[in-house]
Amino acid sequence: MKDFLKNNGLWILAATAVISVALAMLSYFSATSSPLENIANTLASPFRSARTAVSSWVEDKQNYYRDTTDLQAENEALKQQIAKMESEIRQARADSEENAFLRDLLGLQQQRRDLSDFETALITERSTSNWASTLTLNKGTSHGIEVGDCVIDESGNLVGLISSVGASWSTVLNIIDTDTSIGAKVFRTEDICVAQGSFSLMSDGLLRLDYLPDNCQLMPGDLIVTLGLGGFLPPDLVIGSVQEVKTDDSGAASYALLSPAAALEDLTRVCVIKSFEIQS
Amino acid sequence: MLARTATIFKWTLYCAAGLLCMFVQWLVLNRLHIWGLIPFLYPLIVAIPSTMEGPLFGSAYGLVFGVLSDLLLPAPIPCFYTLIFPFVGFCAGFISRNLIPVGLLCSLFATMVSFFLTDLFHTIVFWAQNQAAWRAAAWVGVREFCITLPLILLITPLFGWVYRTVHQDD
């Protein structure tokens, strides 16, 4: 090797110089990149592509992880937001129902100036026995409610009477209960009669209209309202409408089946009349 | 013969079991409508322990639960349950002592009698108030008994457990 360089070193140097000059000339006169640069980059190109692919894959994974984490956080936040909005919707729905109830009640109050003092109450429990028809309300003596107070729905239909009352609760005896007996009159003819609950009709949600006058011309659909005599109940509260007129077992007297105007099964909120003006 | 503390413990357990049943009635059964009626546990609460304890103690237990029931339930006359439940307790105790030995069959028969007596008393009160509804009352009574019947399978073991807990040394 030493001899080879000693013998041919000059030639090699000259050849290298010639090649270098040739390459320099080619680079100078070439319109594109230099041949050496071209060769070098051509050789490096696959490796560069591989490196780019690997870094892209890693970047994708990083982005995926970051996106997933962000999405999970966003999902959690959205869930909380939905829960909050659902709660607001529920509240709004309840408020809306109460608003409608109070609006109807306001209309009733404007129609009926004699009904001076109302208390709205929620129904917290329905009949606790199969032998009575009652409602339990969430208001009692602390809100001025007393035994015997009249309970109506938002349209002024009679629901029942307060039968027992505590500090924060009261029990309503529905008009279809067997213990209920109310002085009534036929709105069309002004005939006086008595509306009372009957056990055999209670399960059908009906009540009886008894003590009808002999000449009473009662027709199905006739509206029955409270009589209001004696000052126990306000007059002209709608009890219900006549469903059917019947004759009793003796054949001597007639009675009617009465369908209550208040939807007793669907009520959620009622109104207690705490005081009213007694009409002379 | 139980010692005084054991007797107090026993009746405390019976009352606790009864109150548990009342709680179940209030929380669950009152919201459950089967065949148009709610299952009614109160006669069972009186009848089943009475079958285990006999007519005398059954009557006393019935009296206590009758008072409690009158405070909680609507009734056609004041003291309705206070009047009928001691009699229910007596009859249930009499059945277990003289007719059928204590057990599921005895509970079933005592429950049937307790429903019959309670519902008959309801019907008599309606009749006395000029609101006779014998057929409707009988139909309600039958349905009420039928829908409450399966609950005997829960109530009998509950009170049986109380009885066995206290009388395990006998």
Which pLDDT score, from 0 to 100, does residue A1 have? 65
A6 lies in the same domain as A137: no
In angstroms, the CA A77 to CA A56 distance is: 31
- Please give the span between the terminal C-alpha atoms of chain B, in angstroms, as a whole number: 8
Scanning the structure block, which residue is given the tokens 């009261």?
A170
Is A199 within the bounds of a domain? yes
Average pLDDT over residues B44-57: 91
Task: Give me the residues of chain A with pLDDT under 70, please.
Answer: 1-2, 33, 279-280
Q: Between chains, do B73 and A129 touch, taking CB under 8 Å as contact?
A: yes
Domain termination site, one of A59, A84, A99: A59
Query: How confident is the model over B13-27, as a mean pLDDT?
Result: 90
Interface subset of A 150-179, CB within 8 angstroms of B: 163, 171, 173, 177-179
Q: Which pLDDT score, from 0 to 100, does residue A280 have?
A: 58
Beta bridge mates, A184? A193, A226
A130, closest residue in chain B (CA to CA): B37
Global ipTM: 0.80
How is residue A159 written in tokens? Answer: 């629901």
Is pTM beyond 0.95 here?
A: no
Instruction: For residue A232, tell me if it sits in a domain.
Output: yes
How far does the CA of residue B76 sit from the closest CA of chain A (Å)? 7
On whether residue A80 sits in a domain, the answer given is: no
Contact B122 A131 (CB under 8 A): yes
List the structure tokens of B99.
């007719």
Q: Inter-chain contact B133–A200, Cβ cutoff 8 Å? A: yes
Helix (H) or strand (E) holding B149: none
pLDDT for B1: 58
d(CA A126, CA A264): 10
pLDDT of A2: 67
Enclosing domain of residue A13: 2-59
B57-111 pLDDT per residue, tens: 999 999 999 999 988 888 888 889 999 999 999 999 999 999 888 888 999 999 9
Q: What fold, for B7-166?
A: Arp2/3 complex 21 kDa subunit ARPC3 (1.10.1760)
Clarify whether residues A30 and A127 are in a common domain. no
Instruction: Pick B151 or A103 by higher pLDDT.
Output: B151
Q: Is A51 on the interface with B (CB under 8 A)?
A: no
Separation between Cα atoms, residue B36 and residue B27, nearest integer Å: 18
So where are chain B's domains? Answer: 7-166
Q: What CATH number has the domain bearing residue A140?
A: 2.40.10.350
Residues A146 and A255 in one domain: yes
For residue A198, list chain B residues with Cβ-Cβ distance below 8 A: 131, 133
How many structural domains are present in chain A?
A: 2
Contact B136 A132 (CB under 8 A): no
**Which of A201, A129, A132 has its CA nearest to residue B38?**
A129
Domain boundary at A39, A59, A79, which? A59
CB contact under 8 A, B76 and A131: yes
Rounded to the nearest integer, the mean pLDDT of chain A is 85
